[in-house]
């Protein structure tokens, strides 16, 4: 079955880098996503990576994928207080009807 | 474009009551879905639709009904609310559903439902 796991909390100082980790179990995953949820709001897509890629960089965001270990990470450089939110990883499968399996979410707290 | 809208934002029900959570999108998206978010469990798919007149069950469909009579609207019905249905409900939509190419899902702001 599909299972996506994340650690629940992460606390960093402003200006430091944040690394949020995710593990998944379905080896047939085609693409993996990172979503951000701010308090009281819906989910906002941050970035995604196809399963045939190892890394993707998008401004302050770097996504690393280790397909062998089924491990996905999101690095946020120069973390700001506005980055405080819950971050969800999600996996999707080709032909899966665009259905996503979400992780439990990691709450990132950025301290001054 | 308003994107994905959901009403109401908050709702309190008594056990056994029924209600409908509304979801609408103005982006002409074919695919729409309902998720529930519970603490420590991420989002779980309740029902989804790949187009008007077509719906299917997700991971946790029991206790919920859906219909898709138009492309724009995808209401979620609770026929007899139970405390276990206390959750935050999100509606999402995307242009296509093939899954063969990347297809962004846009989420609504959510409905917080409490069942007493």
Give the DSSP per-residue string, chain B.
---EEEE-SEEEE-TT--EEEEEEESS--SEEEEEEE-TTS-EEEEEEEEETTEEEE-SS-TTEEE--SSSSB--EEESS--GGG-EEEEEEEES----SS--PPEE---EEEEE-
Higher local confidence (pLDDT), B42 or A97: B42
| Residue A88 with chain B: CB contacts under 8 Å | 42-43
Higher local confidence (pLDDT), A63 or B50: A63
Looking at mean pLDDT, say which of A33-37, A103-107, B16-20 comes out highest: B16-20
> What pLDDT, on a 0 to 100 scale, did the predictor assign at position B42?
82
User: In the Cβ-directed half-sphere of B99, how many Cα atoms lie within 13 Å?
Assistant: 15
Closest CA to B88 of B29, B32, B40: B40
What is the C-alpha to C-alpha distance for residues B34 and B107, in angstroms, rounded to an integer? Answer: 10
Beta bridge partners of A43: A37
State the pairing for strand pair B31-37/B76-78. unpaired
pLDDT reading at A77 higher than 70: yes
What is the C-alpha to C-alpha distance for residues B60 and B46, in angstroms, rounded to an integer? Answer: 5
pLDDT reading at B113 higher than 70: yes
Percent of chain B topping pLDDT 70: 95
Percent of chain A topping pLDDT 70: 91
Give residue ranges of B with CB < 8 Å to any A CB.
4, 31, 33, 35, 40-45, 48, 50, 56, 58, 90, 92, 94, 96-100, 102-105, 107-110
> What pLDDT, on a 0 to 100 scale, did the predictor assign at position A42?
85
B87 to chain A, minimum CA–CA distance in Å?
Answer: 13
State the pairing for strand pair B54-57/B43-51. antiparallel
A17 to chain B, minimum CA–CA distance in Å?
Answer: 24
pLDDT reading at B67 higher than 90: yes
| Residue A104 with chain B: CB contacts under 8 Å | 40-42
Residue A104 and residue B40: Cβ atoms within 8 Å? yes
> What pLDDT, on a 0 to 100 scale, did the predictor assign at position A53?
86
Looking at mean pLDDT, say which of A30-39, A92-101, B51-60 comes out highest: B51-60
Nearest to B94 among A43, A88, A98 (CB): A98
| Residue B57 with chain A: CB contacts under 8 Å | none
**H/E stretch holding A27:** none
CB pairs under 8 A between A and B: 66
What is the C-alpha to C-alpha distance for residues B83 and A28, in angstroms, rounded to an integer? Answer: 36
pLDDT reading at A40 higher than 90: no
Contact between B26 and A81 (Cβ < 8 Å): no
Span of A8-17, A35-44, A62-71, B61-70 with lowest mean pLDDT: A35-44
Residue of A nearest to B10 (CA): A40
| Residue B97 with chain A: CB contacts under 8 Å | 97-98
The position carrying tokens 């301290």 is A111
pLDDT-derived band at B13 (thresholds 50, 70, 90) equals very high
Span of A27-41, A45-59, B65-79 with lowest mean pLDDT: A27-41
pLDDT reading at B100 higher than 60: no
> What pLDDT, on a 0 to 100 scale, did the predictor assign at position A1?
45
């Amino acid at each position: 079955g599909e299972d996506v796991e994340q650690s629940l909390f992460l606390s960093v100082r402003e200006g430091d880098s944040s690394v949020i980790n995710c593990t998944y179990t379905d080896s047939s995953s085609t693409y993996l996503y990172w979503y951000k949820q701010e308090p009281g709001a819906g989910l906002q897509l941050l970035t995604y990576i196809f399963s045939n890629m190892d890394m993707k960089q998008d401004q302050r965001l770097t996504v690393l994928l280790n397909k062998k270990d089924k491990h996905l990470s999101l690095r946020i450089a120069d973390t700001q207080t506005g980055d405080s939110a819950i971050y969800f990883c999600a996996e999707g499968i080709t032909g899966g009807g665009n259905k996503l399996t979400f992780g439990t979410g990691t709450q990132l707290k950025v301290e001054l | 474009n308003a994107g994905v809208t959901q009403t109401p934002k908050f709702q309190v029900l008594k056990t056994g009551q029924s209600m409908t959570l509304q979801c609408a999108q103005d982006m002409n998206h074919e695919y729409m879905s309902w998720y529930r978010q519970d603490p420590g469990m991420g989002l779980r798919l309740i029902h989804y639709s790949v187009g008007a007149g077509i719906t299917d069950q997700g991971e946790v469909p029991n206790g919920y009904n859906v219909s898709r009579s138009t492309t724009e609207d995808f209401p979620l019905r609770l026929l007899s609310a139970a405390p276990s249905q206390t959750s935050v409900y999100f509606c999402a939509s995307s242009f296509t559903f093939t899954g063969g190419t990347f297809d962004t899902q846009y989420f609504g702001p959510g409905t917080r439902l409490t069942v007493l």
